[in-house]
Structure 1
Amino acid sequence: MLRRHGFLWLKTCPRPNVLRKQFVPVPHLLHSTNICQQRWYAKRRKRSEVSKKELRSLDFSIPNYISVNKLANLINCRVEKLIKDLTALGFENITATYILSKEYVELILQEYNFALPSLSTSTNLDNIYDELKSPINPKLLTKRPPVVTIMGHVDHGKTTIIDYLRKSSVVAQEHGGITQHIGAFQITTPKSGKRITFLDTPGHAAFLKMRERGANITDIIVLVVSVEDSVMPQTLEAIKHAKKSGNELIIAITKIDRIPQAKERERKIEKVINDLILQDIPVEKIGGDVQVVPISARTGENMDLLEESIVLLSEVMDIRSENSPKSIAEGWIIESQVKKQVGNVATVLVKKGTLQKGKILICGNTFCKIKNLIDDKGTPISKATPSYATEVLGWKDVPHVGDEVIQVKTEAIAKKFISKRQDLVEAQKNSTIVEKLNEERAFAKEHHFNKDKTEELDYEDAAQDHEQNAGPKNINYIIKCDVSGSAEAVSESISSLGNDEVKCNVISSSVGIPTEGDLKMAQITDGTILCFNLGNLPSEVINNRAGIKIKQYNVIYKLIEDVTETLTQNLEPIFEKKIISTVDIREIFDFKLKKKVIKIAGCKVNNGIIKKDSLVQVVRGPNDDIIFDGTISTLKHNRDDVAEVSKGHECGITFENGFEGFQSGDKILVYENVRVPRYL
């Protein structure tokens, strides 16, 4: 760095977007009375402005990925100089084969004074459809029913609350008595006549994603806590989701009818409230704003108070949304599945606008021209307004649960944005591959000379690679479920099972009955197909020609237990020796054959039974040193061959492999290998 005429000459640039040498004025010298210095600065500034306008034309299209040496050829620059400039920019381990992404190429072209038509903007999958949304029009805002999510631990009575309000029996329809889907119901409350949309989330630990999704798309969360169990693991998890979402909270203490004594009930309720306070829940007891309502959904006790609390809180929140056919409809996918006769179906919770037949929706990598709308009772409806949960028919493919739904004007627009999204997914996938490739090449460059020094390093590297490639044994599964939310939950639950020896590998997870493609994939990967809540499968699927194992389940924890047991059975077996009998060698007898003499051990069985197929060890001395470990060749009682000899009887024994190194006074230990139970 040199000081010249009041300026600092920078050989390297402190900012990543500048490569050329620049003059930076020094403030205390710019106001110098030296007229020569001021004139020189003016000329330099004018020359710099002119140079900025002289841009080089770009006569090639910018690729998504390109290596450094190919880029150097395109911009007519020496590779060594380009590598040097990239290193100055902050790139590490740059080689001629290093692969650059399009964003980096555009940056480099700018620094080399190329005129770029338009810079690519970085987009992620979460906001790629944002430009389709319309800004909120305050004039169209009207009050809408609140969306209430019921959360809590398994079997704490969440669905029973819904049953009471709907005068239905959802619990009776659930396998194992637990909810395994997100149920969406809109009800008119019996006391106030207000409409409320309820989301009933599963309480089992496997449905974490589904519960988290329910908390993120709701207005009010009703946290259900049993007065008998108080705060449980999924209760803590629900509290975590509620705090993260920032939604309003109401506590419902359930099953109070099971404690008829007033004092005992009051004590239990007080304990639940104190446990919630320990979890930083600001209940009204300590001056907070979280209402606590003890209820019994079975008898209806205080259910009117819970209803009143929800309605009052929603009034205070003043929940509004655009409720007009002219507004662009938006919503969320609650559930999706493939139904017989009707095809792909998705349950959509409307967030804004109005859904009607004929409208076109886009969601993830698929779109839909609405063929029909069906409410939670199975009745076709003409439209769905905000806070309404409805089944939408007409999807090209099954959309993913949790994805956002947006209305578009035409199918052409939907296909355009889906193609754009797929290109972005492919670009992100390629970016991961390119990043890994650059790391491998940098590693190869760094260790190239070390590998050539000695052969020992090569052997060590080869052994290490072999160990890495060996890894745990994969037990492959293909998951088929009734709805995509369950498919996600099952996949999340079993994919983490395993250890260093064996692990669960989920090849695919999808909705519907196993197809021919699923059977072929299972055959290729030696996998098992797990069917969840699919009912009776066709006989050609169950009795498939390839002999693929197909297992069916209705309750998720039974599926998890079965997979865990299968993984356990595939662990490397460990055996321990169990002594079942001891035999003393008392005398040695020589038995003459035609051409040779063999030794026979004259023995007496001290305890247990010795059999001809027994595993035995011959031990000697006070320390029981093992001199033979193997099997018996012959077992005789008197002159007869026998299958076994019991305690207190004498016998003659010869050993396999012609072992005759035994002596009088040695002991024979009869043992068996017992498999030690192993667990993940």
Structure 2
Amino acid sequence: MWRLGASAKCAARGQLQSLRSGLRCCYATRATGPPSGSASAKNKRQSKKLNFVIPNYISVNKLSNLMACRSEQLVRDLTGLGFADVTQDYILSKEYVELILQEYNYKLPTGSAKAQVTAQTVYDELRTPVNPRQLQRRPPVVTIMGHVDHGKTTIIDHLRKSSVVSQEHGGITQHIGAFQVVTPVSKKKITFLDTPGHAAFLKMRQRGANITDIIVLVVSIEDSIMPQTVEAIRHAKNSGNETIIAVSKIDKISQPKERERALERVTADLIAHGIPLEQVGGDVQMVPISARTGENMDLLEESIVLLSDVMDIKAENSSKVAAEGWVLESQVNKSVGNVATVLLKKGCLQKGNILVCGNTFCKVRNILDSAGKGVSKAMPSDAVEVIGWKELPEAGDQVIQAKNEATAKKYNAKRMALLEVEAQAANVERLNQERGLSRGLNDGHAADEARENGDEDEDEEQQHLPAGPQKVNFIVKADVTGSVEAINESIGSLGNDEVVCNIVSSGVGPPTGNDLKMAQITNGKILCFNLGSLPSEVINNRSGVDVRQYNVIYKLIEDVTSVLTDSLPAIYETNFVAQGDIREIFEFSLKKKTIKIAGCRVDSGKISRNSSVQILRGDQLIFDGKLATLKQGRDDASEVTKGHECGITFENGFENYEAGDKIMVYEKVRVPRFL
């Protein structure tokens, strides 16, 4: 039995034909004969004219009214075909309504069966077909991948003759960097993407591998294969891109024999992880290098150029071709507004071009290269900053050129409408599931009522159901969308059955007044990543919202983990620190009232004025509370140590003790807890 719902629209196309055949078989084999206007009567009567507009979603009951047939019959037909939990209030999508109408011999409007357009494919109409005559060589796009601190950024630093490592926090790249260099030997251009090494940036590394031509996998000669190296190998295999192995930090091993043994170990580890190296008859080159000293860096460069020549990488670079590319990163620049780093895939991007991307569009006001200098145009494989976006695009979204601003607005509005329809589809599917679950629960409740003659016990049980884990609220603000995505992925899954991390909202740029209000309402904390110095009115805000700043994602994750740990329900253990015996009981009359005092002797430890005590009579606990008074002679005492005698009264006027009872002094110690 398979469930059919509105959110299954994409999968529906593959199931419509089987549903069509099922309807025909169902009506043809029904012993009682088909309903009026059913599919089996198609050959006996002419098609009916459709006199109503088919909505995107409609219930079975309303559809039966429009079709002028019995809703019970329609429910039975759909149930017999495999629709799960179909009732008169079950909601059908437009595709299934069209199919049902066809089987009931209705003639549908022309164009109803055209190919489905989704929010992900709506921009495909803007693409221009590939013209093989216009294909020309383009620079290869190379992604540097590998484990943390294996020398990825140092390699790029050597290639572009700049200092990146000294400017980074924690020795790691915090987001994708895109640079185009002219190699010193072959004088050819290569576009490099430096992806972050921390495990938190998993999606960003996946994106880097998927939009590149060649992957340079950096493996340290000292550490060999590490966890993120394995992850990078998996991404390289899944992407299908060509790979070159760069064994880094060979300058750390000066002795030739030791270096050879270390290279053999790295080679064996790579082969064990399925890398077909040239040493064993494969096609993956392995180049030992030292970016710090420059040793063999020319060999790495020539390996990239040679591999790109063999791959024969080409693209159309004419201005007559609609430009296409990918958003690597996006951020809000205080001086120029929304900025997106775009890696161009084809075409020629110029000032004044209109671009669509995700839920926004752009009229290109300015184009900046990796050095921040303005350029007049960008060619395939160029990574440039594009200024002029109406809204901030999402990292990883595809960029496509539109003819004019009107076309961009048209397709952008169409995409937004499709997203709304998809959201409605998800809501309809959830509604159908909830109704089915509700019917099942009601049936179960009815059975309980028959057994227990009432539903009061059920209400009591519902009141005692566990409320679920406590939510600790956070608002994430970062410099670029990739960082926001990585932080959300990293902390969103933190927690356990008792406490969980709840990301109320996230976005690019410094905290706004709305963020502060949201944090105040939700009692949340604002996490700021790589935003530099924040204004004092944000840090010392009047609402008292906790605003925390970070430059290294390790620290942010550790801090969130600490906050969640502190929010765990407290667990205390009892430690007994002193013991005494009640030797004698004294009675004093005070204002027509008799007061009992326990005369005690401290056998171990010390009894303090504010001590928590238990009184034991044999193995039976007869009192658990605090002292009311503690005296030595006629004087009040703050504490009484081992071997001394004292007089004690207990809180709440407890006097039901006897000589021979034991007094156990204890303290509650909070047990450290961890996620």
Q: Please give the TM-score of this superposition, normalised by the length of structure 2.
A: 0.91
Partner in structure 2 of residue 35 of structure 1: none
Higher deviation after alignment, 656-665 or 522-531: 656-665
Name the aligned partner's letter for residue 364 of structure 1. G
Cα separation, partners in 2 of 1:497 and 1:49, compared to 1, 3 Å: closer
**Offset of residue 605 of structure 1:** 1.9
**Offset of residue 453 of structure 1:** 4.7
Partner in structure 2 of residue 638 of structure 1: 633
What are the superposed Cα offsets for residues 565-612 of structure 1, whole Å, 9 maximum, x if unpaired? 111111100000112222233333333434343332222222322101
Partner in structure 2 of residue 332 of structure 1: 326
Partner in structure 2 of residue 119 of structure 1: 112
Cα separation, partners in 2 of 1:459 and 1:277, compared to 1, 3 Å: farther
Name the aligned partner's letter for residue 550 of structure 2. Y
Pairing 1:308–2:302 present: yes
**Offset of residue 111 of structure 1:** 0.8
Partner in structure 1 of residue 574 of structure 2: 577
Partner in structure 1 of residue 37 of structure 2: none
Measured in 2, the distance between the counterparts of 1:415 and 1:469 equals 49
Partner in structure 2 of residue 214 of structure 1: 208
**Offset of residue 19 of structure 1:** 6.7
Measured in 2, the distance between the counterparts of 1:57 and 1:417 equals 33
**Offset of residue 14 of structure 1:** 8.5
Q: How does 1:315-394 map to 2 (within 5 A)?
A: 315-394=309-388
Higher deviation after alignment, 310-319 or 576-585: 576-585
Q: 2:78 aligns with which of 44, 63, 86?
A: 86
- 1:477·1:528 contact (CA, 8 Å) conserved in 2? yes
Cα separation, partners in 2 of 1:14 and 1:548, compared to 1, 3 Å: closer
Q: 1:16 aligns with which of 18, 22, 31?
A: 22
Q: How does 1:554-573 map to 2 (within 5 A)?
A: 554-573=551-570
Q: How does 1:225-624 map to 2 (within 5 A)?
A: 225-454=219-448, 458=455, 461-462=458-459, 465-466=462-463, 470-621=467-618, 624=619
Q: 1:69 aligns with which of 61, 66, 83?
A: 61
Q: 1:58 aligns with which of 33, 45, 50?
A: 50
Measured in 2, the distance between the counterparts of 1:460 and 1:334 equals 57
Measured in 1, the distance between the counterparts of 2:236 and 2:418 equals 32
Percentage of matched positions with identical amino acids: 64
Measured in 2, the distance between the counterparts of 1:582 and 1:126 equals 74
Measured in 2, the distance between the counterparts of 1:464 and 1:626 equals 33
Name the aligned partner's letter for residue 546 of structure 1. S
Name the aligned partner's letter for residue 18 of structure 1. R
Name the aligned partner's letter for residue 106 of structure 1. E
Measured in 2, the distance between the counterparts of 1:195 and 1:14 equals 56
Measured in 2, the distance between the counterparts of 1:343 and 1:224 equals 36
Pairing 1:654–2:649 present: yes
Partner in structure 1 of residue 5 of structure 2: none
**Offset of residue 50 of structure 1:** 5.9
Higher deviation after alignment, 211-220 or 316-325: 316-325
Partner in structure 2 of residue 629 of structure 1: 624
Measured in 2, the distance between the counterparts of 1:544 and 1:23 equals 74
- 1:475·1:527 contact (CA, 8 Å) conserved in 2? yes
Partner in structure 2 of residue 30 of structure 1: none
- 1:151·1:200 contact (CA, 8 Å) conserved in 2? yes
Measured in 2, the distance between the counterparts of 1:13 and 1:187 equals 57
Pairing 1:197–2:197 present: no
Cα separation, partners in 2 of 1:18 and 1:274, compared to 1, 3 Å: same
Partner in structure 1 of residue 14 of structure 2: none
**Offset of residue 127 of structure 1:** 2.2
Secondary structure in structure 2 of the residue aligned to 1:531? strand
Measured in 1, the distance between the counterparts of 2:321 and 2:341 equals 20
Gaps of 5+ in 2: 1-17, 31-39
Name the aligned partner's letter for residue 542 of structure 2. R
Name the aligned partner's letter for residue 480 of structure 1. K
Secondary structure in structure 2 of the residue aligned to 1:16? helix
Secondary structure in structure 1 of the residue aligned to 2:179? strand
Secondary structure in structure 1 of the residue aligned to 2:643? coil
Measured in 2, the distance between the counterparts of 1:207 and 1:439 equals 35
- 2:475·2:525 contact (CA, 8 Å) conserved in 1? yes
What are the superposed Cα offsets for residues 271-330 of structure 1, whole Å, 9 maximum, x if unpaired? 222122221111122221111111111111111111111111111111111111111111
Secondary structure in structure 2 of the residue aligned to 1:519? helix
What are the superposed Cα offsets for residues 514-544 of structure 1, whole Å, 9 maximum, x if unpaired? 1222222222222221111111112222232
Measured in 2, the distance between the counterparts of 1:150 and 1:228 equals 18
- 1:65·1:102 contact (CA, 8 Å) conserved in 2? yes
Q: 1:155 aligns with which of 149, 157, 177?
A: 149
Q: How does 1:93-172 map to 2 (within 5 A)?
A: 93-117=85-109, 118-119=111-112, 121-172=115-166
Name the aligned partner's letter for residue 645 of structure 1. V
Partner in structure 2 of residue 678 of structure 1: 673
Pairing 1:668–2:674 present: no
Measured in 2, the distance between the counterparts of 1:259 and 1:22 equals 81
Cα separation, partners in 2 of 1:243 and 1:464, compared to 1, 3 Å: farther
- Pairwise CA RMSD: 2.2
Measured in 1, the distance between the counterparts of 2:584 and 2:336 equals 86
Name the aligned partner's letter for residue 148 of structure 2. V
Cα separation, partners in 2 of 1:468 and 1:211, compared to 1, 3 Å: farther
Name the aligned partner's letter for residue 377 of structure 1. A
**Offset of residue 237 of structure 1:** 0.9
Cα separation, partners in 2 of 1:171 and 1:465, compared to 1, 3 Å: farther
Name the aligned partner's letter for residue 103 of structure 2. E
**Offset of residue 88 of structure 1:** 2.8
- 1:19·1:111 contact (CA, 8 Å) conserved in 2? no
Measured in 2, the distance between the counterparts of 1:88 and 1:546 equals 60
Q: 1:185 aligns with which of 155, 167, 179?
A: 179
Higher deviation after alignment, 55-64 or 440-449: 440-449
Measured in 2, the distance between the counterparts of 1:466 and 1:527 equals 27
- 1:13·1:21 contact (CA, 8 Å) conserved in 2? no
Work out the number of aligned pairs and report it.
Answer: 644
Measured in 1, the distance between the counterparts of 2:117 and 2:74 equals 28
Partner in structure 1 of residue 4 of structure 2: none
**Offset of residue 463 of structure 1:** 5.6
